[in-house]
């Protein structure tokens, strides 16, 4: 997936899509996230939220920017780090920005992550975060459309099993496209700065 990412001036396209700003926008290097030369188109596949209701990343996301991460609650390291960074980023945003952003966690381990397990897990980070589960084949299909690989790995000696998935955070705009992605190593400050820039066209701290 890395070869599909472009930084720099392509970032202007993202800001135009989300903020509708004209000239005088961010310049090369102003975004920590990487911009896709060909944005992913978000599928309308319905999964299940933590209220046991159908949820689509197109029909049921009405925020101007939706940050989506695929992971699982038994993940020992990366998933918790990413979710902690997203939660911290949300607290750094001005209220006006925060109202324009949703965060969605899609489990890659639906056999263990039912609605109750997901809700308990996400409440540790932010009770407003949306959790989605569903049939593994549907989750895998949604992930594939968003450039995220998901598969069930080998059984472990402990009796559990590996859950293999790629770890970007994808940003969905109001047109149900993904023009920008962030790596697992993106910090809370970088997430917050990028979100502010994408929503307002103003570089945070400039």
pLDDT in tens, 10-60: 444 454 445 444 344 445 467 999 999 999 999 999 999 999 999 999 999
CB of 150 within 8 A of CB of 143?
yes
- Is the pLDDT at 93 greater than 80? The verdict is yes
Count CB-CB contacts under 10 A for residue 142.
24
Q: Tell me how far apart the alpha carbons of residues 114 and 166 are, in angstroms, rounded to a whole number.
A: 21
Q: Tell me how far apart the alpha carbons of residues 181 and 68 are, in angstroms, rounded to a whole number.
A: 10
pLDDT in tens, 63-85: 999 999 999 998 888 999 999 99
Q: Which residue intervals of 93-174 are DSSP H helices?
A: 95-98, 115-123, 136-145
- Is the pLDDT at 5 greater than 50? The verdict is no
pLDDT given at position 102: 97
pLDDT given at position 25: 47
pLDDT given at position 149: 87
pTM of the predicted structure, to 2 decimals: 0.84
The domain locations on the chain are 38-186
Residue 7 burial by CB count (10 A; 0-12/13-18/19+): exposed, middle or buried?
Answer: middle
The CATH code that applies to domain 38-186 is 3.40.30.10
């Amino acid at each position: 997936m890395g070869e599909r990412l472009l930084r720099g001036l392509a970032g202007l396209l993202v800001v135009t899509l989300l903020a509708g700003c004209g000239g005088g926008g961010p310049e090369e290097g102003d975004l920590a996230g990487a911009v896709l030369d060909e944005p992913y188109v978000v599928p309308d596949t319905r999964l299940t939220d933590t209220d046991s209701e159908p949820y689509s990343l197109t029909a049921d996301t009405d925020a101007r920017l939706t940050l989506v991460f695929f992971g699982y609650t038994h993940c020992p390291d990366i998933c918790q780090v990413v979710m902690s960074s997203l939660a911290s980023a949300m607290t750094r945003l001005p209220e006006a920005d925060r109202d324009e952003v949703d965060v969605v966690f899609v489990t890659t381990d639906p056999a263990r992550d039912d609605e109750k397990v997901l809700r308990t897990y996400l409440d540790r980070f932010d009770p407003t975060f949306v959790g989605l589960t569903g049939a593994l084949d549907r989750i895998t299909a949604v992930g594939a459309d968003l450039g995220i690989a998901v598969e069930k790995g080998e059984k472990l000696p402990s009796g559990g099993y590996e859950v293999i998935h790629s770890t970007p955070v994808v940003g969905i705009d109001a047109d149900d496209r993904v023009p920008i992605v962030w790596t697992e190593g993106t910090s809370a400050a970088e997430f917050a700065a990028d979100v502010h820039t994408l929503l307002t066209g103003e570089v945070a701290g400039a």
